[in-house]
Chain A
Amino acid sequence: MALAKPALFAALRPDADSLLARSLAGILKSPKATIAAFVCIALILTALFGPALAPQDPYDLSTLDILDSKLPPGSESMTGSVYWFGTDVQGRDMLSAMIYGLRTSLLVGVLAGLVALLVGTVLGLSAAYFGGRIDSLIMRLVDLMLGFPTLLVALMLLAILGQGVGKVIFALVLVQWAMFARAVRAAALVEKGKDYIEAARMLGLSRPRMLFGHLLPNCLSPLIVIGTLQVANAISAEATLSFLGIGLPITQPSLGLLIANGYQVLLSGQYWISVYPGLLLLILVFSINIVGDRLREVLNPRLAER
């Protein structure tokens, strides 16, 4: 029996390991997606090693000089170093501020996306597996959430809750889990009827093991696609909320908050304070979306056939 198990699964289970290989091959086949993927990786690395890369710690007030405020891009500082992207109202090096902002934006976006993925997956799998009342209850909730625009729900929540990193992530998770739950449920319903699940059931595997060890790995492809796109959405939504002044607090400036700060001086001609963080945000969201869009084409069998 112990010997038969792996062999049985190998025969019955669809090849889940090739998912990563297929995604990678799909991305590499499209030059557009390859470039976008490289940009994403570069930005993630920049964010990870931000403090080492940034010329200045933008939130260490002792390094700021008010005489350096609102310098255009390329000007020299009092100490001789060059501000490639200019400085903001307080004389902060924009490049450094952008690197730190990128860190915050990515952190909030990725964290919100991951938690939403986790919550949505568990609920979606449960709905598909248990069916009946649990299914209809969860799906009612999903319909309710998807019926409202993301931004509206997040706005409502933050209007009630107030600012804060945790609160923003909470709001983003709450508006995003439903997408994951619906996709996982749809995939799991298809997989549930297949032979390998029947085999797993006959072998008497425990419920969690069957759900997460066998059902889940075969529902991964929609999760990867939606996960990618939702991270981009979360980053964008956080920036919007911060711009409106109800997202992150001023002590943890994301790209959205940097743009908002620059907006006040945009009309008097100091365009760089909001234009460059905005461009960075655009490049970030755009590349993630291109990669996600490509993954959707590769991993969605219905689209691939056409």
Chain B
Amino acid sequence: MTVFVIRRLMQSILVLAATAVIVFIGVYAIGDPAEMLIAPDATAAERAQVEASLGLDKPLPVQFLAFLGNALHGDLGRSFVFNQPSISLILERLPATLELALVAILIALVLGIPLGLIAGLKPRSVTDETIMTGSILGFSLPNFWQGMMLVMIFSVWLGWLPSSGRGPTGHIFGIETSFASWEGIRHLILPAINLALFKLALVIRLTRTGVRETMPLDFVKFARAKGLTERRVVLVHVLKTIMIPLVTVIGMEIGSLIAFGVVTETIFAWPGIGKLLIDSIMRLDRPVVVAYLLVVVSLFILLNFAVDVLYSILDPRIRLGRN
């Protein structure tokens, strides 16, 4: 186990290093770093000063080490627009994004697992066909357009829910959350549904495939032969087996939710890191863009690592298979 974790950790660090190299090449080697990292309205004197402090006159490898050193100290540059360290801007907005992602994944699981079970238990039935066509529809609905339709129907036409912004937040157990007030929850509903639909389609699919693969296995027959009710066979024994791939995929999908959060946050003006990214790209606030990329990739690598470890605990075959 320890060997596995260490090996996996080494891989994660490698990937992170590779990302740092790519971002560095993107910003420093392909683009003109002076243009990228100095505000467009800077004076010539300011420009010269920044160029000297960035060490742009030094060879690329030296620059890379300096970039890496600063990054490891948590210094990813200052935002031109907010005149704050870009890393703190991102960390300030991260909780809003994470809250949205977690609520979305919860919606996807609570609705998706039962629907997938129903479809998988009666393959090729009308119910199955309907659920699966619905899931393809869910995959095909462009995320941003589906969000706009939610706004149009529930905010503009029906006027039931607010269309933009995060409502008032409060503190529950010291965590800042929208769940503290009804108004906060109301603001959360539409963005969460928007983000959840795609994942819902995925969870349905995974659960259905899992059920269809598990039902013919011997242990299911054995459980039935033992005289267990069908209900118990499905809800305890089959579901437990399906949970293994589901946990992995869900873990990976939290990362992709943060990426798709960019779209949802843009539509609903949700004050998370995704909206910050798009705003920063539009305002040419490049230090924030660089910081976003590095933070999100680190977050993602961390998640992948956690999922892999969790997976190897749930299913020892993974660990053994790799040795």
**Which residues of A does B touch, CB under 8 Å?**
32, 144, 147-149, 151-152, 155-156, 159-161, 232, 236, 239-240, 243-246, 256, 259, 263, 266-267, 269, 271, 274-275, 278, 281-282, 285-286, 289-290, 293, 306
The answer for the CA separation of A278 and B146 in the assembled complex, in Å, is 9
For B15, list chain A residues within 8 Å (CB): 144, 147
15 A-B residue pairs with CB within 8 Å: A147-B252, A151-B262, A152-B296, A159-B281, A160-B26, A160-B31, A160-B289, A236-B140, A239-B142, A244-B262, A246-B278, A266-B151, A266-B156, A267-B163, A282-B140
Let me know if A152 and B300 touch, CB within 8 A: yes
B217 in contact (CB, < 8 A)? no
Residue among B23, B266, B281, B300 having the largest count of chain A Cβ atoms under 10 Å: B281
Closest residue to B36 on the A side, CB-wise?
Answer: A160
**Contact A269:B136 (CB < 8 A) given known A149-B260, A160-B26, A282-B145:** no
Let me know if B142 and A285 touch, CB within 8 A: yes
Let me know if B281 and A246 touch, CB within 8 A: yes
For B278, list chain A residues within 8 Å (CB): 244-246
For B277, list chain A residues within 8 Å (CB): 155, 159
Let me know if A290 and B136 touch, CB within 8 A: yes
* Residues of chain B in range 262-303 having any CB-CB distance to chain A below 8 Å: 262-263, 266-267, 277-278, 281-282, 289, 293, 296-297, 300
For A256, list chain B residues within 8 Å (CB): 142, 144
Partner of A159 from B18, B163, B252, B289 at Cβ < 8 Å: B289
**Which residues of B does A touch, CB under 8 Å?**
15, 18, 23, 26-27, 30-31, 123, 133, 136-137, 139-145, 148-149, 151-152, 155-156, 163, 212, 252, 255-256, 258-260, 262-263, 266-267, 277-278, 281-282, 289, 293, 296-297, 300, 304
A-B contact count (CB 8 A): 112
A12, chain B: closest CB distance, angstroms: 33
For B293, list chain A residues within 8 Å (CB): 156, 159
Partner of A151 from B156, B252, B259 at Cβ < 8 Å: B259
For A246, list chain B residues within 8 Å (CB): 278, 281
Let me know if A271 and B259 touch, CB within 8 A: no
9 further interface pairs, Cβ-Cβ under 8 Å (given A259-B144, A278-B142) = A151-B263, A152-B258, A155-B277, A159-B281, A263-B148, A266-B156, A278-B148, A285-B142, A286-B140
Closest residue to B259 on the A side, CB-wise?
Answer: A152
**Contact A155:B262 (CB < 8 A) given known A245-B278, A271-B152:** yes
